[in-house]
Structure formats: structure tokens, C-alpha cells
A = this chain, B = another copy of it.
């Protein structure tokens, strides 16, 4: 699944290639993306806030993509809103890891998608650098039957 997602990102979201985003783990149980500092650095030599928000957005989006990929009609997945708190400067390569939603959240999301053709879910993503939290992201994503 990692290779499929990596290829999909490169073909469909080209800025992910410029950012050097690497799909490390992509399964319904765990999504972990990583990118190097250099193309994502800012004027202080630390991680640019926009890149940090981007990789977190992708981790949330990717989890829904992975989870719903096997469905007969894969959904369109978009982000509706998000917030991010930058807790520590990023001083090396960094990663974004989804906090898996509860089973109840997942069930309600899938049920709504099946019954109404659309569903929304709030996802949390930790951005980590050298084992420490650098940012906490919360995003509301919407899946619509395509």
C-alpha cells in the first residue's frame, strides 16, 4: 500500500515531490509520512509552518484514502477545516503520524458514507521531529461518493 500511495501522491499532488514526502507506513491501522528538512526549511533553518501543516493534512487525507481504497466506488476526500499548534521548532527531518480514530468514530463515518453518500470525520495528527512532538494538527475531512 505504501508504494501505491507514494505513486498516487507523486502523480496527483506534485508539491509532495518538491517537499520530498515519503510514505513510510500506510495501513488502516497506521499512517506515517516523513520528509527531509532541507526543501521545507524556513528563514531560521527550521521547518516552515506551511510544510508542517501540509504533511499533517496529507496524513489525515491518506488514512481515509487507504481505508476506503478497496470500496467499489472510492470517495472524493477533501479537507473542510483544520487547526494546528506549533509546539517545538523542527530542526531535522520530520514526520506526521495519524492518531487512529476510535472504532465508534470509524463506524459512524462509514455508516454515514454508505447511507447518505457523504461523511465527515475529525482526525488528529502528530508532527514529530527526533522523537519529540513539534506540532499537533486537527482536521475535519469530508468523503463524498464520486
Contacts and interface: CB of A to CB of B under 8 A. Distances in A.
Interface of A: 8, 12-15, 18-19, 38-44, 48-51, 53-55, 57-58, 61, 76, 78-86, 89
A81 B76 CA distance: 28
A108 B32 CA distance: 41
Contacts of A8: 43
Contact of A49 (B40, B44, B76, B82): B82
Given A50-B57, A53-B53, A14 B41 contact: yes
Contacts of A49: 54, 57, 61, 78-79, 82
A100 B41 CA distance: 27
A42 B54 CA distance: 12
A137 to B, nearest CB: 10
A53 B76 contact: no
6 contacts: A15-B48, A50-B51, A53-B53, A53-B57, A53-B82, A81-B83
